[in-house]
């Protein structure tokens, strides 16, 4: 029997792949929560959400969608910290209001994210909302998850998601939103 009903903030399907596998191995039940209003442009936002819907459907995972798109908020300059805070705050708040035991995030699987900053923000939110932050360093399975995502044919994005990362991406010509 699975324990620890947690809300898992999920940035995208490829990052969910290994986290899903690891949480199953740890016998932790979770609901997937999509809240990523930072993703630019709207076509990329839609593509990532659609891919996540496909993946969660494939594995019969619960998906809670908050598909709010706040592009105008991000166009006047921001840092990764701002992006992490707005998404993780919304996830922690949702978890608390909906009686989850804890919250976590798939951002903790990426070798490209600021792991320590994410942990610090989540620890602050744990106190703010009086809900447990379930920490695990999922980076151990980053490559494994990405390889499985490729095998499954999941859309694997070429940049983090925000307008800043899009503008600095070396792979713009490989992005296909069809």
> Where residue 124 sits, what CATH number does that domain have?
3.40.50.620
The fraction of the chain above a pLDDT of 70, given in percent, is 80
Number of domains present in the structure of the chain: 1
Q: What is the mean pLDDT of residues 75-85?
A: 75
Cα 60 to Cα 9, 20, 30, 31, 49, distances in angstroms: 17, 12, 12, 11, 16
Q: What is the mean pLDDT of residues 119-132?
A: 98
HSE, CB side, 13 Å, CA atoms: give it for residue 177.
10
For residue 122, the enclosing domain spans: 3-174
Structure-model confidence comparison of residues 133 and 3, the more confident one: 133
Which pLDDT band holds residue 7 (cuts at 50, 70, 90)?
very high
Q: What is the structure's pLDDT at 83?
A: 82
Q: Please tell me the distance from the alpha carbon of residue 170 to that of residue 87, in angstroms, as a whole number.
A: 25
Q: What is the structure's pLDDT at 43?
A: 83
Burial class (CB in 10 A: 0-12, 13-18, 19+), 168: exposed
Q: What is the structure's pLDDT at 93?
A: 97
Q: What is the structure's pLDDT at 77?
A: 63
Give the pLDDT confidence of 48-59 residue by residue, as tens digits.
899 999 999 999
Q: What is the structure's pLDDT at 76?
A: 60
Which residues are 51's β-sheet partners?
A: none
Q: Which residues contact 6 (CB under 8 A, 6 or more apart)?
A: 23, 28, 29, 30, 31, 95, 100, 101, 102, 103, 104, 134
Which pLDDT band holds residue 79 (cuts at 50, 70, 90)?
confident
Q: What is the structure's pLDDT at 121?
A: 98
Q: Please tell me the distance from the alpha carbon of residue 22 to that of residue 57, in angstroms, as a whole number.
A: 18
């Amino acid at each position: 029997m699975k324990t620890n009903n947690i809300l898992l903030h999920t940035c995208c399907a490829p990052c969910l792949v290994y986290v899903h596998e690891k949480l199953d191995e740890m016998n932790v039940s979770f609901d997937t929560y999509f809240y990523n209003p930072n993703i630019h442009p709207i076509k990329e936002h839609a593509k990532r959400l659609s891919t996540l819907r496909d993946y969660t459907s494939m594995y019969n995972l619960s998906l809670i969608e908050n598909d709010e798109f706040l592009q105008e908020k991000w166009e006047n300059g921001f840092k990764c910290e701002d992006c992490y805070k707005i998404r993780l705050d919304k996830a922690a708040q949702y978890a608390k209001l909906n009686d989850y035991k804890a919250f976590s995030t798939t951002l903790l699987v990426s070798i490209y994210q600021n792991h320590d900053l994410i942990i610090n923000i989540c620890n602050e939110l744990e106190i703010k909302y009086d809900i447990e932050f379930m920490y695990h360093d999922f980076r151990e399975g980053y490559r494994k998850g990405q390889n499985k995502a490729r095998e499954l044919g999941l859309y694997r994005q070429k940049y983090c998601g925000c307008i800043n990362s899009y503008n600095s991406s070396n792979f713009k010509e490989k992005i296909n939103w069809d």
